[in-house]
Each structure stands twice: as C-alpha cells, then as structure tokens.
Structure 1
Amino acid sequence: MVKADVHNQDKLFRERFEEILEGIHPDDREDVRRFCESAID
C-alpha cells in the first residue's frame, strides 16, 4: 500500500516537474533537470 502511494507521488511530481521545465528558459532546462534528478537520487 505504501509503495503504491510513493509511486503515485513520484508520478505526480514528475508531471509537475515537466510543467515547471516548460516555464524555464530552454538554455537552463538541462541544468535544472540534472540538478533535480541528482537531488531525487
């Protein structure tokens, strides 16, 4: 049950993350993506 909830949270976060990336200047997107992915892992 908890694992499914965590998976759902992760999915929601990634969807929101994509929305946030769309609002970031294209030159900065890759840096932000790398930073966030390293923070998640």
Structure 2
Amino acid sequence: MKKLLLLTLSLLFTATIATAQEFAMTDGSFVTCSGGFY
C-alpha cells in the first residue's frame, strides 16, 4: 500500500514539474522564481 502511495506521489510530482516547465517557456518571470528549486 505504501509503495502505491509513493508511486502516485512521484507521478504527481513529475506531472507538476512538466507543467511548471511548460509555464516557464511562456512566462519568463516564472523561471527566475523556480530557478532555486531545480
């Protein structure tokens, strides 16, 4: 059960990163905000 939760969380995290990168392409200010995150 814990493994399933972990998998779901990692998938969600990956999806969030992918979406954030798409936003970063259109919005330059977002890149500077998230620069420290990566």
TM above 0.5: yes
Q: Identity over the aligned pairs, expressed in percent?
A: 3
**Equivalent position of 2:18 in the other structure:** 15
Equivalent AA in structure 1 for residue 34 of structure 2: R
Alignment length, in residue pairs?
A: 33
Q: Which runs of 4+ in 1 moved over 2 A?
A: none
Q: Which has the bigger relative contact order, CA under 8 A and spacing at least 6? A: 1
Structure-1-length-normalised TM-score = 0.65
Structure-2-length-normalised TM-score = 0.69
For residue 10 of structure 1, report the CA deviation from its aligned partner: 0.2
User: Gapped runs of 5+ residues in structure 2?
Assistant: none
User: Gapped runs of 5+ residues in structure 1?
Assistant: none
Task: Give CA-to-partner distance per residue, 1:7-29, whole Å, 9 cap, x none.
Answer: 0000000000000111112xx22
